[in-house]
Each structure stands twice: as structure tokens, then as C-alpha cells.
Structure 1
């Protein structure tokens, strides 16, 4: 099983680890692709601040992020598990409460990144700011850039494994399983169920979805769920007390959607 996660908007701003070593990151064959994006980001942030903020989608109060992007090659690093600090990662609890499951975390969790493509929890990274939805002047849209780079190596890593996709849409664009791999892919969608005027209604949620996806990723690691198919995954999560519904496949060679229902 591989659990595919987005990064978080919130990140730690400093580390105390060794300088960045692109060849030591997960999927080291991507080093040249990572170097190109890093160079393009550095070039952008070295230019006019207004232009860099506009391209990166930053406000004036986030100007410090430009400085961090300029220091990528020399800044102290920290583990990806400690770098990402958003709601999903708070609920997943990588640096705090998964220390008894280190091997499973390493084997199962991949984090997608606009700057690095994909990384593992133990990869040492400098603080940075670059979303997958950004279009850098010299690389174009990062979703398309990384999809081209990741299809081969990540497809090999995923061979024969169930993919539990907890990514948001912009990060899902960076790797789209096809064929048999798609049939082993389950996209996690979160629905909020509540009673309105005596009727039960469901709606797609955003902020709550991050927390719930963190909960799902956590339980798959801590309970050592060994599902090989979407059906086995659904059954295992039901046994663990989650309300989940597996939607029918649209057609052969496509991913399934698993709805996780949370109630008020």
C-alpha cells in the first residue's frame, strides 16, 4: 500500500539538519528535475518582489517566504515529517505519535510537492514555499512538469500496490495512475452528513476533509492495514469504525472513489 498525501500550506520555518542533498531524497533519479525547478524558483525570487509574490500567490505579509526560497541550497534542513504542519499532518501525527511505526511510515507514505515532486517522511528538506498550482516562467505549470517526470519512476514504485489517494486536485495532477494501477487506486473523498429540517443531507467539505484524511492515513499505518484492493480497504476501515462507501468504477482502467462520511 502507498498513501499519497499533499503537503501543507503551513510549514516549519527553520531546521537544524544538514544542507540539502538532492541525491538523498526519495526517488533520487528525480534529482535533475528537482534541480531545474529549484533554479527556476530561485531565479524568480531573486527578481522583483511584486512579480515573485504574484506568481507564487503570496501576500505582502508573506515576503519572508521569498528569502527562504533563495536559501534552499544552504539552509539547514529538517525531516519532511517535521516540516509539514497543517491540519492533515496534525491528525496524522508523524513526528509525535507514529514513532512506534517508523518502518510502515517509510514504506507507505509519500508526500507530493510543487518543488520536489514527491518526497518521503524522512527526507531532509529546507523550508520553502511553492504550490503545485504555480506556473513558473521557465518550467510552465508544475502539475504538468511533474506528471511527465513522475510517471515512470513512481509508476514502478507503485507496481502491484494499492494506492490510497488523499491528495487535493492540484497535487493529484502531478501523478495520474492509468490502467491496472488506476484500478488499484482509491481517491478519498470526505462527506459531511447532517440533518436539516428532518432530512439527512450530505455535502463535500474542505477543511474538515484534511483532518479526516489525516485520520484515515493514521489508522492505516497504526493498525497495519494490509488491503490489496479497494474492496478490502473499505472492509478494513468499516471494521475499524469508519463509515465508508466505495463508489462504483466509472469504467475499466479508472480509479475508484471512497466516501468517508463524518457526522455532526
Structure 2
């Protein structure tokens, strides 16, 4: 099973890992594009005003540009520990037992505007780059990643559960993946799309799938694991699920 997670704009600082080494990362077929984008982003960081404009940041976020300037030299952290925020708080990999963490590293992958796809064991520096953006000389990141990332994801012949947000789902389509959305239901039974808590419930589902003793191999297995975790998940279509928040 492969669970695709969205990244987060916020990243944990620092780390105790060696500087970025692309040859040590999973999916080596992505390394050519990774190298080009890391070079481009770190070079862009030498022009702070332009970086702020391209990345859609304010002057108060200049520290994000400084992080980009040090992509090749900064210390790294495992990807599942680098990303922070609501989804990753709910995932809470730090509280997993060693066996469960090993499963999480194998079953979870994070969509990344800079690296394309990172596994739990991939060590990465803090960076700032959004999936819906673009870089000078490259155009949109969707146009950069789709030709190389879609073939890489097409090789996943097991169950794929796609929890990515729109901008990151646009980087590469995954035919046959199980999509998941989160809806709230009021007392009258009316449902609407959840915004903020969407991330929290996806994080809880990712944790349940990562820590399940038996690796889920079907949509039915995903439903069973979710139910065991106290999540109300319904099947909307053959490959579409809905987490219902009441």
C-alpha cells in the first residue's frame, strides 16, 4: 500500500542529518529534476526581493528565503519529521512504536513541490516552495513534474490511497488511486466540505493505515482500518471514500 500525503508550508527547523544527498533518496529516477529545482531555488534565494515575489511571501517571511539559500548545506531530517502542521500533528509519527514507524516509512509518501515524492526515510532540509507555484525558467511546477512523476507513480502496483490536496494532486495523476474527501454533516443530515479539520481527519486516517498490523490491500481493508480507528468513512464510489464528521 502507498498512502500519498500533502506536504505542509511549515517545516520543522534544523535537524541532525547530513546535508542533502539526492543519491541517498528513494525514487532515483526523479533526481535529475530534483537537482535542477534545488539549484534553481537556492540560486533564486540570492535575490531576496525576487524570491519573496516569486514565492508569494511577505518581508516578514525572509527566513524562508534564507532556508532556500542553504538547501545544499543545511542539516536534514527524515521527511515525516520535517513537515509540521495540522495533518502531521494528527499523524504524530513521533508517538508510533518502532515497528509501526517502520511501517509508516514504508507505506507513506509525501508529495513535494521540490522533490516530487519523498518517503519517510528520505532526509530533507527545510525549504519553501508551493506546488501551485512556478520558478523562473521552469514555468509551473505541474508542467515540470508531471512528465517524470506520473511514470514513477504508475509503477505503484499496490493499493494507492491519495490524500493529497488539489495543488499537489495536479503534479501527477495516479490512475486507480483511491481518493478521499472529508465532509461535515449537521443535525439535518446536510453535508458540506470541511476546510480546516480536513487535514486533521486525513492525518488520523494516515496514522491508522500506517500503523495497521496487516497492510491494507483493498478498499474494504481501508474501510475496516478506519472503522477500528473510530473514523466514520463511507464508500462513495468504487475508488472514492468520504470521511464524515458529525
Give yes or no for the alignment of 1:166 onto 2:163: yes
1:252 maps to what in 2? none
Deviations 1:145-164 (A, max 9, x none): 111111222221x11x1111
1:228 maps to what in 2? 217
Segments ≥4 residues shifted beyond 6 Å: none
Map 1:74-113 onto structure 2 (within 5 A): 74-113=73-112
Give yes or no for the alignment of 1:218 onto 2:207: yes
Deviation at 1:25, TM superposition (A): 0.8
2:45 maps to what in 1? 45
**Partner of 2:65: helix, strand, or coil?**
helix
- Structure 1 residues 121, 218: CA separation in 2 closer, same or farther (over 3 Å shift)? same
- Structure 1 residues 236, 126: CA separation in 2 closer, same or farther (over 3 Å shift)? closer
2:233 maps to what in 1? 244
Map 1:36-75 onto structure 2 (within 5 A): 36-47=36-47, 49-75=48-74
**Partner of 2:164: helix, strand, or coil?**
coil
Output the TM-score relative to the length of structure 1: 0.88
Cα RMSD after superposing both structures: 1.6
1:175 maps to what in 2? 172
Q: In structure 2, how many angstroms separate the alpha carbons of the residues matched to 1:68 and 1:51?
A: 15
Deviation at 1:235, TM superposition (A): 4.1
Where does structure 2 lack aligned partners over 5 or more consecutive residues? Answer: none
Where does structure 1 lack aligned partners over 5 or more consecutive residues? Answer: 250-255
- Structure 1 residues 101, 231: CA separation in 2 closer, same or farther (over 3 Å shift)? closer
1:253 maps to what in 2? none
Deviation at 1:34, TM superposition (A): 0.3
- Structure 1 residues 193, 259: CA separation in 2 closer, same or farther (over 3 Å shift)? same
Deviation at 1:131, TM superposition (A): 0.9
CA contact (8 A) 1:133 1:141 kept: yes
Deviation at 1:100, TM superposition (A): 3.4
CA contact (8 A) 1:81 1:95 kept: no
Task: Count the aligned residue pairs.
Answer: 246
2:32 maps to what in 1? 32
Deviation at 1:98, TM superposition (A): 4.5
